[in-house]
Structure 1
Amino acid sequence: MVQEAKSELERFLKLHAQHGNAEKLFYHLEKAAGSEKVHQHNEELYSLFDFKHADSRRQGVVTVSWDLFTTGSISLEALIKMLRLKADGQKIKTLIQRAHFVRFPERHASELTEAEMLAQLGLSSTSAKQIVDASPKIDWSTEIIQQGFDAEYQGHDLIVIPTLETLRRYAGQWREDAYEAPYTSIISPTMSGKTRLLKELAKHVCVVYICLRKAGSTGQPPRSDLARHFIPEKGQLNMIQHYSHLLIAILKTVYDFFKRPDISTKSLEDQLSEWFDYSFQIKSTSKVEFNTKVEYKLNNLKTASSSELNLTYNDIRLGDLPTRNKLATAVSDVDEIMESEKHGNLKVLLAIDEASNLIDHTDRRLHIPYFSLFRQALSTIPSSMGFFSVFTDTTSRVANLNPTLDRDPSSRFHGRGVDLFAPIYKISTLDVFVPKDKPSSWNDLLSPERLFSYGCPFYLLYFKGARKIKPKGAVQTTAMIAQAKLLFKTQSASPGVLSSPQCFAILGSIIQTRLSLHAPINSELIASHAAHCMFIDSERNDCQRLSPTVCLCICS
């Protein structure tokens, strides 16, 4: 850990050699945004400037130009000219985002346009918009993606049942004197079927599904309407109390639904089907009644708490007793209304999709991510109540969602359990669509339909859907999506400007390069470059990955 931090600082100092007091700037950025964000900053700039292969003269030009641009002393056009950069839309975006990060690390650039970031930097946005708008974009079909959520599920007994058994076991093991909180994370690469797995789990257990996708994103599934309460635009004075109230409101809504006479008398299968239709927003149609009831109960809780006694600082950082008691009552009521004969020891599964967005936002008073505060609220839920939660994501690092103790900034507030439930990563969706019969010829082996059947299930489903709508462009569009997911960018890049993770991502399916288990690049390949997680050690420091074959076949 110490060596990693030292190496990150050294790289930062080289890139920012002309910035005044660069070491102080490094620690300021690390404190404001976290070490993972600084690592990402270094990685992207090293790749963009090809800094590793630049001679001392070139490095000098880069550092001077970069200092002038980040301070607003030269325009974007001048920077491009000084560095002799090609007018590449992806590079322009990266330059603007990195400069904005240096100046405003506490702000969330992902929620801003390039023009807005340049305006905050005090620079013109005209040329940037022209370059970015001219960049090729993938023509995704939301309709095809959503059809994939309804396709016949493959490998139910191999994927869903083991996952369900693990979650049930975890729910039974939860004790506040042993574990940090009743949660785990599902670790799997993009397009591997994590959301679809949650949908299948909803046939066996009451799943409360919330997608925290960024506002304005066109990705699928869409951002849940309740996401704005998980990541409020303006941070609450007491975020732990806010999250506790949100959990209470959700649990009370679950209780009201399953208590209804027309629901309670039905079979478990029918109850869960009704609940899915009522609350699970996997398509664009909002679940209005569910959202309205949760928000109504949440507002009532906030109104009632505002008249209570003033909270101490310990209440704010640990949670106040009255709110903890209300949460305990809410989960107890749900446990009682759901018959054990029907629901077993796992009765409610809170599923948070795109969970890394909780990490991107930080409480300014306590200086820890919203994720840690939400987990603190979860930790007050009593054991043996049939409640558990699961977090899924694709682009954050493994350590972000299930951090080791030495990387967890909120652990200093805990005087109770310290163990974490092991993450779930053995999700056997890889190659589920590969035909059982051997190819009859070379043409059969190299046919698009067979190639797209390898790797993640998404690609074959999308290809089949695209072929019905636009046959001539089906192969190209699906291949562009695969390439974008492989390289974690929407444009192709020449070998000279590829980052190390991108190189490993491209070559991985052929050479399956063995890296040291504790190498940070393993986590990055899983998080952002379509590699599958095959093993994670108990301390979450080491992981082993496997690169699927589909992407190389498509992109070669």
Structure 2
Amino acid sequence: MGPPRHGSGKESGLQLRRGDEQRLVPQEKAAASSGLRKRKAAEESAAAREKKRLQSIVIQMVHEKSPGRIMDLAMKMLEGPKPMPHSETSEETEDDPGIVERAFQGEYRTVGGVDNVDLLRQKIEETGTSWVAKNRIAPVVTLVQSSGWGKSRTICELASRGVFVVYCSFASATTTYPPRSAIADFFYTSAVRLLSSGSRLVSESRFMLFCMHYFSSCIDVAVDKQLAAEDFLQELMLGEEFWRLVQAKIESRQKQWERRYPALEKVLLEEPSRASNVWGAWEDRVHRRMRNTDKLKQLPDPPKGKLKVLFVMDEAGWFGRCDDHRAFAAFDPARRAARLFPGTGEVVALYTDTNDFAGSNVAPPCRPHSSDRVAAHGTAVSHPAYCFFAAHSPSDTGTGSLPLGKVENLGRLVAYGRPLWQALLKAKGDPQEVLTLAVDKLLGGANSLSKFVEQGFMLEEAPLAILGCRVCLDINPQARVVSGLVARHLLSVVSISDDREHVWTDWAVEPVVAAAAAMALRAGRKRTGWQYCLEKLEDGLMRGWVVDRGYRGELVARVLLLLAVDSLQKDAWRCFTFDELCRGLCGTSVSDLRKAELGVEDEEKGRKNVGDAKFLCLQFRKTDIPLKELTAENLLAFGKAGVGIICSGGIDIIIVGFFGGTFSLETMTAILVKVKRTKTLGNLDLAYAKCSPEFSGMVALLEVPYVSLLVNVADSSSDELGNSERQSVSFKTGKLVKAALMKKMPANVSMGVALQETHPNCEGVELWGKEKGMSSRSKRRSLRNVEAWKRYFTPVDDDLQHIVAIKGLQAFSSRDQVKRLVDITLKSTPGMRRLEERSQKICAEMMFSLVRKRKLRNKR
């Protein structure tokens, strides 16, 4: 990613460009909705409310502990059908159930010239019009993305474009919005009953008929209502009358078709050959009697496009993994039932959820069942969609200055990332409540943080999510934890492979989520969140869940930096000075180091003290903008978002800050971090020189004092680094380093050529001139760094660079917390780690070149 791109994303056929935005502003209809829901709640009987309460308790137990016996035991306590599976990712709050509803009911605004609603319509319509010609199984689209990105809100907005959105939610939490549909119980229990009523073919055929009855009944009621598309959706979402009529029609149709079961099932049970289409004759008989094209003609045409009716199944994960072991999975027959729709693009079914239930659209298995048209006969399925509908970005993300009070304003930081956060802030008005909700959603459920404090336990994937969104962990696209992280812990889907076996994911630039993670990491009684999460991270590294650890220990360095920030005991969104960061890292400040190394008399009057520079660093993120292309505006945007930049090319990490009380281009400074993991430190002056904007070729050359921070994470407790010199902390200025390098013989040909051109009379050039002809190897060396060294040596009188070197793991205050992490992340050889990183980079570039729509860079 580049600087905070609040509208960037990709899905097959649906491209969302930088700057995609939407605003959610509460409207008066939210009040009417809230009043209607209150009246409905008041009409519930005490027995019904008690039953719901017991169900929620049982669901909570299953969600947290997942033993099969708990569900079996709990079902004996309840009467009636089996409850719906718990929606693990619902937008919910305990103190104010209406907050999400008010946010959802707000006005949908499209800004930035990008119409997300129309892009979604085009994607859906393309599937509906081409499924026959492209030999796809059915006009079905699956939309997969983590919670809060605006899936439901954008889908519902299609009603304003004249599309009749038949929105059925299977969420079970009572505070969810959109609320669980009134027909959800009937649909789910019917599915379980029919899918366990006989052999696979018999069960699937009966459920297919039920789905066809559902589709036809919904269209019938929509025609009978004679409402506009928006009014139709409003009645469907807020009332029970529509679903009551639909259920009655379904039950009536089922009774009529029950007498046809034997004849239809006889067609299926005739042993088909492997090459035949087992559903062909069955579908011919059924479709002739169920075609509803005449009914569709009675619905008004949309102002644009062909799509008239969109059947939406939200929180549809249970279709791919039914909890009842007696029933077959529901997704394949439900998808097959959609073949009833005409091939004109007028009707499409859309299944959406936060997890990867789209994996039901898997590649053909080795031994497909004869009923599986996709596996046995090569029919294709539509690729899952995954997209971002971005929030309105803060107005100050450009080059404008920002006072300290605004920099530390949590309400400003809430505006980054998924639209859920800003919508909640507009509806509630208190950023602290949004932060509380972010904590619950990141950890996987309400009150998760208090449970960790009291019980010392989190959900399995929660520690990876907490560290991942701050440290920037790349999750293996094949790891089984990806599904849980997307479903319950805010990890976002970026791409899905054609065979559905790889799900590429990423952590968004979301300061409020990073602040929530910081709260979790600092919490705890017997042991802190940091201790708990680092243990789980080590376990994840051993299992291969986390990739791109960095071959020099870059992951360890990011952990050490955030440990130092959190040790300051400030709110995560408060700025810290470099002196404070140094104390957190190694127990001493840069001001003290300068006095010890250079003496007070050497400090120039009027020069800004880098120890007083202020920084905001909530999380680290990688950028797809090369270091040499990062502009000052880019750096300013990252700094305002509280994002530390992960990069390469002489500098591994950049943390952007400012001097004084205003964050602007003129006051901007930075910490340039160079990570090493070496037992022999060698000539440190070379490392200091390379950790500079000039050598790295940064476009944004700093005009105020800045810091080069050398971090050596090698463990010096058991090897030759164990002497006090090599595990100490030292300070130098860039001016002294340049002077020292010019007096020594150049370390390589590139440096020698650069010095010869920039300072031909220096001592180093004279020494190099005597020696260079004696070595034939020097003639074969690369001169690719000549320009870099020339840039570095040109401003010889420049004294902006201030260098702090932490020369071994033993010099860090948090060494005990990361020692095992160092051993695990760096257990292979540097060459192997470099090879792993190189392979990952090549694969990532091949994958995301299509996303960015630009040519691949040759970095091999």
> For this structure pair, what is the TM-score category when the shorter chain's length is used for normalisation?
0.5 to 0.7
SS at match of 1:533: strand
What's the offset of the Cα at 1:173? 0.9
Bigger radius of gyration, 1 or 2? 2
Contact 1:159–1:427 (8 Å) recurs in 2: no
Q: Label 1:352 to 1:450 Cα distance change in 2 as closer, same or farther (>3 A).
A: same
Q: Could you say which residue in structure 2 is the equivalent of 1:250? A: 218
What's the offset of the Cα at 1:376? 2.2
For 2:434 and 2:217, the matched residues in 1 are separated by 41
What's the offset of the Cα at 1:148? 0.7
Map Cα deviations across residues 78-130 of structure 1 (whole Å, 9 max, x no partner): xxxxxxxxxxx99993698433x1x488x6x9xx58x959xxxxxxxxxxxxx
What's the offset of the Cα at 1:444? 0.8
For 1:390 and 1:195, the matched residues in 2 are separated by 11
Q: Could you say which residue in structure 2 is the equivalent of 1:488? A: 444
For 1:512 and 1:199, the matched residues in 2 are separated by 33
Structure with more of its chain in helix, by fraction: 1
Map Cα deviations across residues 44-68 of structure 1 (whole Å, 9 max, x no partner): xxxxxxxxxxxxxxxxxxxxxxxxx
For 1:230 and 1:408, the matched residues in 2 are separated by 31
Pick the aligned partner of 2:314 from 341, 344, 353.
353
Pick the aligned partner of 1:517 from 477, 496, 512.
477
Aligned pair count?
414
Q: Could you say which residue in structure 2 is the equivalent of 1:422? A: 383
For 1:196 and 1:512, the matched residues in 2 are separated by 28
For 2:182 and 2:305, the matched residues in 1 are separated by 30
For 2:309 and 2:382, the matched residues in 1 are separated by 17
Does 191-200 or 407-416 show the bigger shift? Answer: 407-416
Matched, 1:209 2:160: no
SS at match of 1:184: strand
Q: Label 1:439 to 1:505 Cα distance change in 2 as closer, same or farther (>3 A).
A: farther
Aligned residue identity for 1:440: L
Q: Label 1:397 to 1:254 Cα distance change in 2 as closer, same or farther (>3 A).
A: same
What's the offset of the Cα at 1:177? 7.2
Q: Label 1:413 to 1:543 Cα distance change in 2 as closer, same or farther (>3 A).
A: closer
Q: Label 1:344 to 1:461 Cα distance change in 2 as closer, same or farther (>3 A).
A: closer
Q: Could you say which residue in structure 2 is the equivalent of 1:297? A: 249
Contact 1:518–1:543 (8 Å) recurs in 2: yes
Aligned residue identity for 1:298: I
For 1:337 and 1:95, the matched residues in 2 are separated by 45
- CA root-mean-square deviation: 3.6
What's the offset of the Cα at 1:349? 0.9
What's the offset of the Cα at 1:139? 2.7
**Structure 1, unpaired ranges of 5+:** 1-88, 118-136, 264-270, 468-473
SS at match of 1:545: strand
Map Cα deviations across residues 136-169 of structure 1 (whole Å, 9 max, x no partner): x953422221111122324463422211111111
Matched, 1:164 2:86: no
What's the offset of the Cα at 1:181? 1.9
Q: Could you say which residue in structure 2 is the equivalent of 1:326? A: 289
TM-score by length of 2: 0.44
Q: Could you say which residue in structure 2 is the equivalent of 1:132? A: none
Please show how residues 23-62 of structure 1 align to structure 2 within 5 Å. Answer: none
Contact 1:175–1:382 (8 Å) recurs in 2: no
What's the offset of the Cα at 1:340? 5.5
SS at match of 1:379: helix
Percent of paired sites with the same residue? 19
Map Cα deviations across residues 316-340 of structure 1 (whole Å, 9 max, x no partner): 995565433233x11x124433466
Please show how residues 50-199 of structure 1 align to structure 2 within 5 Å. Answer: 93=61, 97-99=65-67, 101=68, 103=69, 112=74, 116=77, 139-155=94-110, 157-175=114-132, 178-199=135-156
Contact 1:192–1:457 (8 Å) recurs in 2: yes
Q: Label 1:412 to 1:553 Cα distance change in 2 as closer, same or farther (>3 A).
A: same
Structure with more of its chain in strand, by fraction: 2
Q: Could you say which residue in structure 1 is the equivalent of 2:258? A: 306
Map Cα deviations across residues 460-486 of structure 1 (whole Å, 9 max, x no partner): 32234333xxxxxx4443222111111
Contact 2:208–2:333 (8 Å) recurs in 1: yes
Pick the aligned partner of 2:176 from 219, 222, 231.
219
SS at match of 2:257: helix
For 1:170 and 1:91, the matched residues in 2 are separated by 36
For 2:366 and 2:139, the matched residues in 1 are separated by 19
Q: Could you say which residue in structure 1 is the equivalent of 2:394? A: 434
Please show how residues 259-408 of structure 1 align to structure 2 within 5 Å. Answer: 260=226, 271-279=228-236, 281=237, 285-288=238-241, 290-308=242-260, 310-311=262-263, 312=265, 315=268, 318=279, 321-327=284-290, 329-330=291-292, 332-338=293-299, 342=303, 344-361=305-322, 367-384=327-344, 386-394=346-354, 396-400=355-359, 402-406=361-365
SS at match of 1:208: strand
Q: Label 1:441 to 1:385 Cα distance change in 2 as closer, same or farther (>3 A).
A: closer
SS at match of 1:219: coil
Q: Label 1:407 to 1:463 Cα distance change in 2 as closer, same or farther (>3 A).
A: farther
Q: Label 1:90 to 1:299 Cα distance change in 2 as closer, same or farther (>3 A).
A: closer
Does 404-413 or 150-159 show the bigger shift? Answer: 404-413
Please show how residues 474-485 of structure 1 align to structure 2 within 5 Å. Answer: 474-485=430-441
What's the offset of the Cα at 1:301? 1.0
What's the offset of the Cα at 1:509? 2.9
SS at match of 2:181: coil
For 2:356 and 2:469, the matched residues in 1 are separated by 21
For 2:331 and 2:128, the matched residues in 1 are separated by 20
SS at match of 1:489: coil
Map Cα deviations across residues 164-212 of structure 1 (whole Å, 9 max, x no partner): 1111111111118711221111112112221111111121222111111
Matched, 1:540 2:500: yes
For 2:243 and 2:63, the matched residues in 1 are separated by 39
Aligned residue identity for 1:422: H
TM-score by length of 1: 0.65
For 1:168 and 1:243, the matched residues in 2 are separated by 21
Contact 1:517–1:544 (8 Å) recurs in 2: yes
